[in-house]
Amino acid sequence: MANNWAPKTKVDWFLTVLRVLALGVVTVGLLAFIAQQISVDNPFARLINPDATGLTVAQFRGLVISGLSQGAMYGLIALGYSMVYGVLGFINFAHGEVFMVGAMTGMITSNKLDDAGLWESNFIGSLLFIVVVSMLVCTLTAVIMERVAYRPLRKAPRLIPLITSIGISFFIQNTSVVLLGPTSKAYPDMPDWLTAKRTFLEIEGTKILVICVAALAMLGLWLLVERTKTGKAMRAVAEDQEIAGLMGVNVNRTIVKVFAVGGAMAGVAGILWGVLFRSVIHYTGFLPGIKAFSSAVVGGIGNLGGSMAGGLFIGLAESTGPLLILEPLGVSGVSQLRDAVAFAMLIGVLLLKPSGLFGERLSAEDRA
């Protein structure tokens, strides 16, 4: 590893300069932020950004929590990208659309429950119900997608299913426009006890709920993959499809299960999206999908724990990055740059650690 860092060619030199620059910008920004937090009139902070204002503790906490809750959602979606990549070695770009289908399902179901009066009277039960329905619908979507679009291409070069997945993505988006119309649709109001700021650190209940549900889903998935026979089969297929087949693992069925589990995770994420933002539109899956994919890459694609950590990292970066790094540097209109920050973080991580924060592929861990 150390050898890789010693510049040899011109490209290496260029990359080294880029790495130093990226780290330099982040360091100076963070230092300036710390300086302005110590005192707004700190000469160092003033030098870099004359209009520095600084954040209160409550504001900073708000940013972090918002980043974590958004990141937990990215992580859940990223699991689907990561698992499919681990097993089939291609990126299923339509996975973001499965997430959108989950959010849409939740919107329809929750509004029906609201009409029936159950949403308010039994919120927890209703929430559980829409999570289950959304997981089922998303699982079904992912499985059908695999059967119709990817299984016939199993033996084709990897680029072919990749392009197919982009086609599927457009297909699902446009189907949503045809079925549900092109305008954004709202979830019913969340109950007051949930949206009100909790006394616990003054964090909004919805965000605590999102983080807890995401953690539970992640725990369930980890148990499934590491502790059950199905999980063992998935890991075996990821390691080597042919050998796994020879050892008596039903490869096709295992791949279907991978899609099903990934879809179910996207279904949970879809509901969390609805709980957080209460609004869904046919392109809802696009940007979160791309960011979740970035999360999977940041964490090391094929690595489940890495995907979740990558999601939290991207979520935190886009939430706090503009105000922690860019604003102290005197950049104007920083909030518009949040997507740029998220993707710059992806590039930054890949520059420093090309296989992601936790290393690629599930199988690497198992070998150890």
Partner 1 sequence: MFGTRKTSRFRIAFKTAVVLACLALVLSACGDDEDSAAPEAGTETTAPATTVAPEEMGEEVLVMEHLGDGSLGTVEVEPGEAVQIRSLNAITGDVAFFGLPIERSVVLAIADYGQVHGFDVDMGTGLDDLCSNDGGQAAAQIIVADEDVVGVIGTSCSGAATAAAPLITDAGMVLISGGNTSPALTSDLAGTPGPNYSYGYYRTAHNDLFQGRVMAEFVFNELGITTAAAIHDGDPYTQGLAKAFTDAFAALGGDVTGFSAVNKEDTDMVPVLTEIAAGSPGALFFPIFQPAGDFIAEQAPGVSGLEGTVLLAADGLLNTSYLALSQTEGMYFSGPDTRFGQNVNASTGKSAQDFLAAYESEYGEGPAAPFWAHGYDATTMLLDAITAASYVSEDGSLMVDRQGVRQYLDNVRNYQGLIGVIGCDDFGDCGSGKITVVHHASSDDPEASMGNVVYSGGGN
Applying CB under 8 A, the residues found at the interface with partner 1 are: 53-56, 58-59, 61-63, 66, 70, 182-184, 186, 189, 195, 197, 202, 204, 276-279, 281, 283, 287, 318-320, 322-323, 327, 333-336, 338-339
Shortest Å distance, C-beta 310 to partner 1: 18
Q: Give the tokens for residue 170.
A: 């457009």
Shortest Å distance, C-beta 249 to partner 1: 38
Rounded Cα gap, residues 322 and 334, in angstroms: 5
Say if residues 222 and 307 touch (Cβ distance below 8 Å).
no
Task: Considering the complex, state which of residue 240 and residue 339 has its C-beta at the smaller distance from partner 1.
Answer: 339
Location of structure tokens 């504001």? 59
Task: Considering the complex, state which of residue 4 and residue 175 has its C-beta at the smaller distance from partner 1.
Answer: 175
Task: Considering the complex, state which of residue 187 and residue 259 has its C-beta at the smaller distance from partner 1.
Answer: 187
Rounded Cα gap, residues 166 and 109, in angstroms: 28
Task: Considering the complex, state which of residue 12 and residue 202 has its C-beta at the smaller distance from partner 1.
Answer: 202
Shortest Å distance, C-beta 56 to partner 1: 6
Say if residues 164 and 153 touch (Cβ distance below 8 Å).
yes
Shortest Å distance, C-beta 63 to partner 1: 5
Bridge partner residues of 197 (DSSP): 204
Location of structure tokens 């999980």? 231
Shortest Å distance, C-beta 298 to partner 1: 18
Which whole-number Å values give the CA distances from 292 to 46, 82, 99, 119, in the listed order?
Answer: 36, 10, 11, 30
Say if residues 316 and 331 touch (Cβ distance below 8 Å).
no
Shortest Å distance, C-beta 264 to partner 1: 23
Through-space distance between the first and last CA atoms of the chain, rounded to whole angstroms = 18
